[in-house]
Chains A and B, each alone.
Chain A
């Protein structure tokens, strides 16, 4: 069974540009989570999508947005990039069952903002 996949592996942008990151969940999983792992800040929850809807978002500015497609894959968009957006962005998928689920993580996208 294929795991969670993310693309691209690495992304280099300049300040002010937009970045688009993609995630494909495990087959059958309907929930996708996005997390940011910035140096020195640990892993922080960004967004949660389930059944095509945004269910919750973490303490991040509106520049961070995304969507979930009918096939449950997801896209994270970061507008007006700032230097501090440089981080490893991790996607996780799960079949949400009242918190009884395990979240399975992809390999991540390393975003570097110059």
Chain B
């Protein structure tokens, strides 16, 4: 049974810092891995999707990597801003559904 874990559970940093959020999964047989952002009480915003054949994806200040063999993905956020404060979720796609991690709650203070 696929299990997805995210470390750390919470993170508080000053503005401007570069951050690394970690995601690990137990079964490497995935179709893709997706990173989402969720603001309090809101739905999910897709940030990056990495196909199983890819190693990384970049969008603006965000970079996500995928190492299927070790069951790990990292989300790198460069030059963090207060507007980046949210919960970040990773999710792996098996044949027909997403399996979500536990999330990392990020707070970036000015």
Interface set of A (CB-CB < 8 Å, partner B):
4, 6, 33, 35, 42-45, 48, 55-56, 58, 88, 90, 92, 98-100, 102-108, 110
CB distance from A19 to the nearest CB of B (A): 18
The CA of A90 and the CA of B102, in the complex, are separated in Å by: 16
Residues on the A chain within 8 Å of B95, using CB: 99
Asked whether, in the complex, the Cβ of A105 is within 8 Å of the Cβ of B97, the reply is no
Q: Which residue of A lies closest to B49 (CB)?
A: A102
Given A102-B49, A103-B34: A45 touches B99 (CB 8 Å cut-off)? yes
Q: Main SS of the interface on chain B?
A: strand
Given A42-B103, A102-B46, A103-B34: A110 touches B41 (CB 8 Å cut-off)? yes
Interface set of B (CB-CB < 8 Å, partner A):
31-32, 34, 36, 41-46, 49, 51-52, 89, 91, 93, 95-103
Q: Main SS of the interface on chain A?
A: strand
Q: Which residue of B lies closest to A88 (CB)?
A: B41
Residues on the A chain within 8 Å of B89, using CB: 43
Given A100-B31, A100-B51, A103-B34: A45 touches B98 (CB 8 Å cut-off)? yes
Residues on the B chain within 8 Å of A42, using CB: 100-103
CB distance from B79 to the nearest CB of A (A): 25
The 10 closest A-B pairs by CB, nearest first: A99-B31, A105-B44, A43-B100, A107-B43, A45-B97, A105-B43, A108-B43, A56-B96, A102-B49, A99-B93
Residues on the B chain within 8 Å of A102, using CB: 34, 46, 49
Q: Which residue of A lies closest to B31 (CB)?
A: A99
